[in-house]
Each structure stands twice: as structure tokens, then as C-alpha cells.
């Protein structure tokens, strides 16, 4: 039995064969047409021999093969076969579920009829159904303990025009159904709810319907309560001055402010690294440095001077110093930018993005901020940002800021694109911001007691990615580390692979490498037998600059391992291998 749409044409093919003992002179086929077939749509088709046909008032269709002289199969087996075809459509008034049957009687001369098999077709439509379920382990597959979720809206669209056809709400078991669908191109989507992250079919599912089908589309959702925190472009980063805290008679004295939190960051890894590049790519070639600059800060006080008031100026790369009634001055080398001299929204938001990534990496704000992905369509200098992690967004910003000429960030259209990008970053930097208040920060009393870290404060997360809306949280994804930098004089812009740290290690270690130009990067781990045991990066397009990847060897046994970096740009291919020791 086959399922068809009521507007479909049925094509019938009737075979016959003379298996008797003599030639058949005349053959007649009688087929009583089903009452749900429209006789007016009948179209005769091809036949093996010349024939005539007639439909009487009783709906009997008769094919007559007069003087066919069909030999019997004993004499001429190939010549003993014959066939006839015709097409016809169901009535437009036929109901779904109707069965249309067809049987033919074949008469060889004066012999009793040979009755064919009965062909049955059912009139139907496509049904799309499924379930919205709570994906507890975020693996994108419904497990036995993951039940359906009620009151979720599922939308059916035309996948060509994107117009909404209809929508339904899931029932108590989390199920939904779109019934009686005709041929067409459909897309099934789940309407988002605050705090939930989609897993299975997160982008919806497109279905092209050319025949009657019954298909299932499931949606997994995960409730995300992971909250993040950011600094924003505001004078609170510089004034009032950072409050130093201490413990006196067992009680913490001093109420921390945002400048305190900023100093907490600069007292950690940035201090160890002797500063950090907050926008751009550091250079060492004397000639290149004259026209290629980067923004570098060593202290919280220095970066605070960049945020004495909100930036309102146009967005420009690190190309020149613009001042009223003065000729533009080319910029190069390390720049300790301040608000008085540089009123630039791109600089401000780019610096803040790096600041927020560094703060998350160092634990001053919640971890993994850099793993958030852009969740809106946006193209910057020909690169699509949708789906790009914030760490990689920062690296792209670095590339365009310093290598502005090489990336054609010069004309009005490119600068307008850069301004729109600055506005996008502002939405992110502002989105997770909240003024410091009792209850949204913690004080590290253990470090305070040493008397060496008077700024030991950590900011609590206040908003989820869903709350902000422009970025999305990807469960079980760990942020790539953004390199702090190694000094304001810069490092070579070449391909390098550094020794992992710590080494020996157990079970995690960091691997740092520098990419000298936009290209495809692979980073793989091998054992002493040369067998690949882990792939950290596989042919990923990565921006130039310093990168850091954490390797977790929890599943491996103690021993010597090798890590191999392959990087291919338009001009060169770099391959390097280094040894590391896992000791458990």
C-alpha cells in the first residue's frame, strides 16, 4: 500500500502474458475504476501493442487488443508479454485516509479472466511531530530520564520565504504535532525561552516534503544558570580611587569598588607578565613598528586613565592621532592610551573586551567568558562573526587594529563597519555589567591576611548569556586563553611553538603558540609510538597573534608525549614538535 496526496496523479501499469498452449488472437482488459477516481482526468498511456479503450457508465475501463496474435510462452517467451499504462487522479473531494483500490481482469480470447493483484493507495498528508525535552546532560540526545517540557511554542515556517505557517504549544508530555501538511518546504523551529539553551536541533530543522511522510523532530533544551560579569566604559574604573582592604582584629576594613576589582586583575597574572596588550598585535621589526601600533598597559592606574569618561568619538583602527585643527599623526609602537588624547569607541570597546576576557581568565570575574559565542549575524572585514567565540573576536579585533592597512580598514565603508563592530562590542561589554553592591562580590580573606594583596576581590556573575541576548552559551565548552603578553617592547610576529607549562604536569598543562598570519592551524598530541592520542585543534582558521590552549590528559597514562603544531598561511607553512612529560 502506498500513501499519496489527493492532488497526485496515479500511474497504473498492467502486465499480461500468454502462458497458454496456443496463440492469443484477442486480449481484453477490464478494470472497474474506483469511485474516488475522477474519470475526467483519465489519460491513456503507452502499450506494448496497438489497442483501443472505452469507459462505460458503470465506470468500467476496457482495453481491447484486437488481432494481437500474442504467441504463447512455450513457443516465444519474450514475445508472449504485453502491457498497457494509464494515468488518473483522485477526486478533489476525496478525504484523507481514503483507500483507492484497483484490480484488473485479463481475458485471453474466450478463456476465463486472469485476475491481477489488487493495488491499494491511501490518500494522506504529511505529519511532522516531536517533543521538546529537558536535555539534562546537554548531549543533544534524549535519554531515558529526560522528560518532555510543557508549554513550549514550536513554529512551522516556509523554508523558502521564511513566512510563519502556523505554531503549536507542547502538551503536558512535551509533544507537538503539525498534521495535514501538503507538499512543500518546511522549517520547524523552537521559540526560545529565557534562561534555556537549545541543544538538539538548536537551529531548527528543514524538511523538503515531496511525498507523504510521517517524520519526527525533537528539540533538546538546557536551563543555563551560568552567569557572567563585565566592566564597561565608565569613569567608575578610575574614580573613586581603588580602595585597599585589610583585616584588622579579624574584620575586613574598606569597601571595595570597581577600581579595586581592576587592581585585583593587575595584581595577578598581568603583573607576572609585566603588562598586557589590550588591543592590537605587538611588533618588533623597526620599520613595521613605525606604522603599526598596539595598546599596552602595565598598571590599573594606566588603563583607568582611558576610562575617565565614556567614549563618544568615531571608531578608527590604530592608524593615527586625530586632533582638532591639527594634521593627523601616524601611530606606531606600544601606546599607553588615555581618554584625554584618544576618544575612540573602537579602542575603548576593544580594550574593554580584552579586559573582560583577562578578568575571566584570572578569576576576578566568572570563568569561561571567552567561550561565549556571537549569536547574531554580523560581518566584519569579510569575516562572519556569528558562532565565533569572544576570544577569537578579540583576536580579530587585534588584527584589524594593528594591520589596518593590510585589511583595508581605510575607506568610509570599512570605517562604518568598524563603528558598527564597536557598537556590537559595547552591547556585550555593557550587557553583563552591574554596579558593585553588597552581595555581588566576594573578598578573598585568605589573601588579605597575608597583607600582600589588598585588592583581593572577585565579582560574582549577574547575568546569563540568554539575559543579554547577543551571545550564546555553549554547554561543556572551555574558553581558549587569551595571551597577556610578555612586555611592551613586543615580540616577533612569527610562527612559534612554546614549551608547555607546567612541564612535567598532572593532569593539565597550557600550550602557547604564535601565528604569524591568518591561516589554518592544527595541534595534535602523540605518544612515543607516534600514535595520535588527542586533537586539540583541527584545521581551524585562526587569526595572527599569540594563542593558548589547555590540554587535559586525565584519560592518559603517565609518560612522554609530543605535541605537534601545523600552521599554514598564504605565504608559508610552519611545523614544530615539542616533548612534554605527564606524571601522575
Predicted confidence (pLDDT) per residue in 552-578, tens digit: 999 999 999 999 999 887 667 888 999
Locate 484 and state its grid cell: 597577556
Judge if 126-223 and 494-582 fold alike in CATH terms.
yes
Locate 51 and state its grid cell: 489497442
Q: What is the pLDDT of residue 204?
A: 93
Give the contacts of 409 (CB within 8 A, at least 6 positions apart): 317, 319, 381, 400, 415, 418
Calculate the CA 2 to chain-centre distance: 38
Q: What is the pLDDT of residue 195?
A: 78
- Topology of domain 126-223 in CATH is Immunoglobulin-like (2.60.40)
Arithmetic mean of pLDDT over the chain? 90
Q: To the nearest whole percent, how much of the chain has pLDDT over 90?
A: 67
Whether 487 has a pLDDT exceeding 50, the answer reads no
DSSP β-ladder status, 519-527 and 153-158? unpaired
Q: What is the pLDDT of residue 129?
A: 95
Q: What is the pLDDT of residue 400?
A: 94
Query: Given pLDDT bands bounded at 50, 70 and 90, which one contains residue 434?
Result: very high
Q: What is the pLDDT of residue 548?
A: 84
Query: Given pLDDT bands bounded at 50, 70 and 90, which one contains residue 183?
Result: confident
Locate 536 and state its grid cell: 586539540
**Which has more pLDDT, 333 or 461?**
461
Q: What is the pLDDT of residue 488?
A: 42
| pLDDT tens digits along 199-210 | 999 899 999 887
**Which has more pLDDT, 485 or 453?**
453
Whether 347 has a pLDDT exceeding 90, the answer reads yes
Whether 489 has a pLDDT exceeding 60, the answer reads no
Q: What is the pLDDT of residue 491?
A: 40
Residue 167 CB coordination number (10 Å): 14
Residue range 479-493: mean pLDDT, rounded: 58
Residue range 430-440: mean pLDDT, rounded: 95
Q: What is the pLDDT of residue 485?
A: 58
Helices and strands: H and E segment counts in the chain: 9, 40
Q: What is the pLDDT of residue 502?
A: 93
**Which has more pLDDT, 515 or 487?**
515
| pLDDT tens digits along 131-152 | 999 998 888 899 988 999 999 9
Burial, 252: exposed, middle or buried (Cβ in 10 Å; 0-12, 13-18, 19+)? Answer: middle
Locate 393 and state its grid cell: 573576536
Whether 530 has a pLDDT exceeding 50, the answer reads yes
Domain 494-582 has CATH 2.60.120.10: no
Task: Count CA atoms closer than 13 A to 535's CA, side-chain side.
Answer: 7
Residue of 545, 550, 549 whose CA lies nearest to 278: 545
Burial, 562: exposed, middle or buried (Cβ in 10 Å; 0-12, 13-18, 19+)? Answer: middle
| H or E, element range at 28 | strand 27-32
Whether 493 has a pLDDT exceeding 60, the answer reads no
In degrees and rounded to multiples of 5, residue 8 shows phi and psi of: -80, 150
Three-state secondary structure string covering 336-383: CCCCCCCCCHHHHHHHHHHHHHHHHHCCCCCCCHHHCEECCCCEECCE
The Cα 556–Cα 168 span in angstroms is 48
Residue with cell 537551529: 203
Residue range 239-243: mean pLDDT, rounded: 91
Angle between helices 345-361 and 390-402 (to 10 degrees): 140
Query: Given pLDDT bands bounded at 50, 70 and 90, which one contains residue 486?
Result: very low
| H or E, element range at 424 | helix 412-431
| pLDDT tens digits along 382-395 | 999 999 999 999 99
User: Which of helix, strand or coil describes residue 386?
Assistant: coil
Domain locations along the chain: 2-123, 126-223, 274-443+462-468, 494-582
Domain 2-123 has CATH 2.60.40.740: yes
| Contact yes or no for 224/464 (Cβ under 8 A) | yes
Residue range 58-73: mean pLDDT, rounded: 96
Amino acid at each position: 500500500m502506498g500513501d499519496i496526496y489527493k492532488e497526485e496523479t496515479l500511474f497504473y501499469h498492467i502486465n499480461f502474458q500468454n502462458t497458454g498452449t496456443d496463440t492469443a488472437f484477442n486480449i481484453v482488459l477490464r478494470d472497474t475504476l474506483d469511485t474516488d477516481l475522477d474519470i475526467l482526468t483519465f489519460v491513456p498511456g503507452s502499450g506494448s501493442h496497438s489497442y483501443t479503450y472505452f469507459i462505460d457508465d458503470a465506470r468500467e475501463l476496457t482495453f481491447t487488443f484486437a488481432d494481437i496474435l500474442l504467441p504463447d510462452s512455450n513457443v516465444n517467451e519474450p514475445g508472449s508479454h504485453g502491457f498497457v499504462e494509464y494515468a488518473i487522479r483522485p477526486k478533489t473531494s476525496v478525504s484523507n485516509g481514503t483507500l483507492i483500490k484497483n484490480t484488473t481482469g485479463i481475458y485471453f480470447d474466450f478463456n476465463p479472466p486472469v485476475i491481477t493483484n489488487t493495488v491499494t493507495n491511501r490518500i494522506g498528508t504529511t505529519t511532522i511531530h516531536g517533543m521538546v525535552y529537558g536535555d539534562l546532560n546537554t548531549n543533544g540526545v534524549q535519554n531515558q530520564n529526560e522528560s518532555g517540557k510543557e508549554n513550549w511554542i514550536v513554529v512551522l515556517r516556509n523554508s523558502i520565504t521564511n513566512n510563519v505557517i502556523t505554531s503549536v504549544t507542547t502538551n503536558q508530555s512535551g509533544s507537538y504535532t503539525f498534521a495535514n501538511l501538503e507538499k512543500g518546504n518546511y522549517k520547524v523551529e523552537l521559540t526560545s525561552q529565557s534562561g534555556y539553551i537549545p541543544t538538539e536541533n538548536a537551529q531548527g530543522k528543514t524538511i523538503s516534503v515531496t511525498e507523504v511522510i510521517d517524520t519526527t523532530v525533537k528539540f533538546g533544551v538546557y536551563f543555563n544558570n551560568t552567569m557572567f560579569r563585565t566592566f564597561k566604559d565608565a569613569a567608575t574604573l578610575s574614580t573613586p580611587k581603588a580602595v585597599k582592604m585589610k583585616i584588622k582584629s579579624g574584620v575586613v576594613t574598606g569597601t571595595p569598588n570597581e577600581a579595586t576589582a581592576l587592581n585585583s586583575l593587575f595584581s595577578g597574572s598581568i603583573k607576572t607578565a609585566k603588562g598586557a596588550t589590550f588591543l592590537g598585535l605587538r611588533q618588533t621589526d623597526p620599520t613595521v613598528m613605525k606604522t603599526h601600533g598596539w595598546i599596552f598597559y602595565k598598571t590599573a592606574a594606566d588603563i583607568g586613565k582611558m576610562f575617565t569618561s565614556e567614549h563618544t568619538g568615531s571608531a578608527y583602527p590604530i592608524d593615527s592621532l586625530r586632533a582638532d585643527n591639527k594634521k593627523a599623526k601616524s601611530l606606531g609602537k606600544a601606546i599607553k592610551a588615555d581618554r584625554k588624547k584618544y576618544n575612540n569607541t573602537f579602542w575603548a570597546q576593544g580594550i574593554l573586551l580584552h579586559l573582560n576576557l583577562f578578568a575571566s581568565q584570572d578569576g576576578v570575574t566568572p570563568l569561561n567568558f571567552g567561550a561565549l559565542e556571537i549569536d547574531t549575524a554580523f560581518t566584519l572585514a569579510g569575516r562572519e562573526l556569528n558562532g565565533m567565540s569572544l576570544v577569537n573576536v578579540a583576536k580579530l579585533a587585534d588584527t584589524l587594529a594593528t594591520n589596518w592597512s593590510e585589511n583595508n580598514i581605510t575607506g568610509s565603508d570599512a570605517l562604518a563597519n568598524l563603528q558598527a563592530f564597536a557598537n556590537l562590542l559595547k552591547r556585550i561589554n555593557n550587557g553583563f555589567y552591574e554596579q558593585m553592591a553588597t552581595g555581588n562580590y566576594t573578598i578573598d580573606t585568605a589573601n588579605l591576611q597575608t597583607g600582600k594583596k589588598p585588592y583581593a576581590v572577585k565579582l560574582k556573575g549577574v547575568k546569563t548569556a540568554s539575559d543579554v541576548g547577543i551571545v550564546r552559551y555553549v554547554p561543556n565548552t572551555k574558553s581558549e586563553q587569551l595571551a597577556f603578553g610578555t612586555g611592551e617592547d613586543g615580540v616577533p610576529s612569527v610562527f612559534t611553538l612554546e614549551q608547555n607549562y607546567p612541564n612535567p604536569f598532572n593532569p593539565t598543562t597550557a600550550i602557547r603558540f604564535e601565528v604569524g598570519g591568518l591561516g589554518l592551524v592544527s595541534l595534535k598530541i602523540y605518544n612515543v609510538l607516534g600514535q595520535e592520542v588527542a586533537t586539540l585543534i583541527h584545521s581551524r582558521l585562526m587569526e595572527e597573534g599569540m594563542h593558548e590552549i589547555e590540554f587535559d590528559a586525565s584519560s592518559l597514562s603517565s609518560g612522554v608525549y609530543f605535541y605537534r603544531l601545523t600552521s599554514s598561511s598564504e605565504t608559508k607553512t610552519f611545523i614544530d614538535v615539542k616533548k612534554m612529560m605527564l606524571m601522575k
